Structure 1
Amino acid sequence: MKVVITGGAGFLGTLLARRLLAGPVAVGGAGPAAVGELVLADLAEPAADLAEDERVRPVVGELVSVLPELGEADVVFHLAGVVSGAAEADFDLGMRTNVDGTRALLEYARRHRTPPVLVFSSSLAVFGSDPAIGPVGVVDDDTLPRPQSSYGVQKFIGEQLVADYTRKGFVRGRSVRLMTVSVRPGRPNAAASSFLSGIVREPLAGQRAVCPVPPDTPVALSSPRRTLDGILLAARAGDEAWGSRTALNLPALTTTPREMAAALDRVAGTRASELIDWIDDPAIGPLVRSWPARLRTPRAHALGLTAEESFDDIVRAYVADNPAVRS
């Protein structure tokens, strides 16, 4: 089996690559098979352990320019993109990467002799609080997206492109709307939601962190493990089982930064949360508060996906997966 991951050197791309290589992998309702070739397309080189695997072929460069190097694949995971804060700050970059790049990738897949399964990572940011209507409230499988950021609009456009290329039979597309992933290891990125990892990651390492929203702001989260479960299920499901071409909302845990800080202290066994500075940011705050925090996801549940039961579990999993994080 041949697999392509765009954004293959990123956080989720790296985790996904490792999971795929551990195999076997089932795609599109077929039986499990080993990955024979894994193409990781990104602006950066992949992690050393992946680069050393003889099954891995790194392709480094702008996505649109390297598409001819990818070759045909059985499944394509499209994770590459400009994150929320960067897309809002640089409109042209977001459109070029998140819209034009997605369309170019779909055209690449359209030229395959056999339509590949294509998993597109969309976002909770397709939903927002329309100023003319009011708060978005509880989101369910039929809630109309009303994005309130350039990033959200770009992701919604991507969903519709995937749906139409699927309708035409060019690809076997599945769009999954990812929740904010917490806790991410490593350095902060330009996503508006980056602080939802930072307020755990940095205090555990003995460093100060800033929370740019009020402590009781409700947010929807998913752990890296559960996010990967959703992405892999989208690839694994047969067309009939997957059902609607409409994007799938992944399950989420609803919590608040205050509850996250309390969970941090319980798991750490210290007053680590005292390293959090609570400073309401006039740019990030309104954007985060426009996102929905409560979801009902019966479609995902029917496919066997569930949210974490508590943020304590997410912090424990982060510490277990990253044993060197504590100061």
Structure 2
Amino acid sequence: MHVLITGAAGFLGQRLTRTLLERGEVNGKVLTRLTLIDQVAPVPPSDDTVRLDCRAMDITRPGALDSLLGERPEAIYHLAAVVSAAAEADLDLGMTVNFDATRSLLEGCRAAGLAETRLIMASSVAVYGGELPDTLDDMTALTPQSSYGTQKAMCELLINDYSRRGLVDGCVLRLPTIVVRPGKPNAAASSFASSILREPLNGEAAVCPVPTDLDLFVMSPGRVIDALLHAATLPGEALAPYRSVMLPGLTVSVAAMLEVLREVGGEEALARVSHEPDPRIEAIVASWPARFETRRAERLGFAGDRDFHEIVRTFIAEQTAS
């Protein structure tokens, strides 16, 4: 089986690559080729059983992916994106990467006749915003309050329509805020949600830019990877008529996250977190809803984390193992 990943050098792309190589199969088919695309050529783990094709490529260039799509990948993970705060700061960049490149990818699939190729795109809770009901579900109207959310919402609608027309077999996963991400903070507005745990547990200072009573909808990296892999196994008829699925995250306040930090890391870890309000970050993150009814995702076989303690303890275990 040939799998193509855009944004493969990013955090999710790297973790998905490692997991695919470890498992060696997708939806019961042996993984024979893995094509990894990003602005900088991804450097995957060595593997003697899978043909690895790593390319530096600007997917915003018209037709950039056409030659690869002509080689008929059977699954495409579209993870390339400009994250929330960066998309808000630079409208042209966000539109070019988040929307225009996605439309070009869909058109490339259409031209190559990839009607049976499963196209899996990572979306976000940012597609919602404004005045909303207390609890949302997959069919709640998309009312984004940021450029990033708007771009993701437009991509969702396009993938749904191309799938309805039989031009591609799409599946959109709306990702909760992912915590705890390893590494360093990025330009995402939600980056603090990992920083206020990761840095203190590593003996470093961190800044919380939002009120502690703010609720977030979160999911661990491992559960997100599980969801991406599971999305490749679902028949199109199980997803129709609407191809977007909100994954089953956890609703947790920033205060509750910090309490888990104290319980796991002690008072010293908690003391490493300072509170410096950032109205820009708060405005973006507070527009994202934090409560979802996710029975549809669960019926489709997607699984969430048991509790926030599990998320933090899994992060610690993974850090120790690495």
| TM-score of the two chains, using structure 1 as the length reference | 0.92
| Letter of the 2:163 counterpart | T
User: Is contact 1:51-1:58 (8 Å) kept?
Assistant: no
Inter-CA distance 217–277: structure 2 relative to 1 (3 Å threshold): same
User: Which of 33, 37, 42 lines up with 1:37 in the alignment?
Assistant: 33
- Secondary structure of the 1:237 match is coil
- After TM superposition, the structure 1 stretch with the greater mean CA deviation from structure 2, 300-309 or 153-162, is 300-309
1:57-98 Cα offsets, whole Å, 9 max, x none, are 111121134313423200101000100000000000000011
User: Is contact 2:113-2:167 (8 Å) kept?
Assistant: no
1:56 Cα offset (Å): 1.5
User: Which of 152, 155, 161 lines up with 2:152 in the alignment?
Assistant: 155
| Letter of the 2:11 counterpart | F
1:114 Cα offset (Å): 4.0
| Letter of the 2:205 counterpart | R
**2:21 matched to which residue of 1?**
21
User: Is contact 1:215-1:278 (8 Å) kept?
Assistant: no
Q: Which runs of 5+ in 1 are unaligned?
A: none
1:245 Cα offset (Å): 2.5
> How does 1:143-292 map onto structure 2 within 5 Å?
143-292=140-289
- Secondary structure of the 2:292 match is coil
Corresponding position: 1:94 with 2:90:
no
1:217 Cα offset (Å): 0.6
1:17-53 Cα offsets, whole Å, 9 max, x none, are 11112234344xxxx0111110011012323525888
- After TM superposition, the structure 1 stretch with the greater mean CA deviation from structure 2, 120-129 or 41-50, is 41-50
- Secondary structure of the 1:236 match is coil
User: Is contact 2:21-2:47 (8 Å) kept?
Assistant: no
| Cα separation, 1, equivalents of 2:138 and 2:260 | 30
Identity of aligned residues (%): 43
| Letter of the 1:61 counterpart | M
| Cα separation, 1, equivalents of 2:112 and 2:67 | 13
| Cα separation, 2, equivalents of 1:90 and 1:136 | 30
Q: CA RMSD in A?
A: 1.8
| Cα separation, 2, equivalents of 1:296 and 1:265 | 29
| Letter of the 1:121 counterpart | A
Q: Which runs of 5+ in 2 are unaligned?
A: none
| Cα separation, 2, equivalents of 1:36 and 1:54 | 5
User: Is contact 1:127-1:136 (8 Å) kept?
Assistant: no
| Letter of the 1:80 counterpart | A
| Letter of the 1:120 counterpart | M
**2:73 matched to which residue of 1?**
73
- After TM superposition, the structure 1 stretch with the greater mean CA deviation from structure 2, 54-63 or 161-170, is 54-63
1:269 Cα offset (Å): 4.3
User: Is contact 1:135-1:290 (8 Å) kept?
Assistant: no
User: Is contact 2:60-2:96 (8 Å) kept?
Assistant: no
1:299 Cα offset (Å): 0.5
1:225-259 Cα offsets, whole Å, 9 max, x none, are 11112222211111122333241111110111111
**1:124 matched to which residue of 2?**
125
Inter-CA distance 324–20: structure 2 relative to 1 (3 Å threshold): closer
- Secondary structure of the 2:279 match is coil
1:180 Cα offset (Å): 0.6
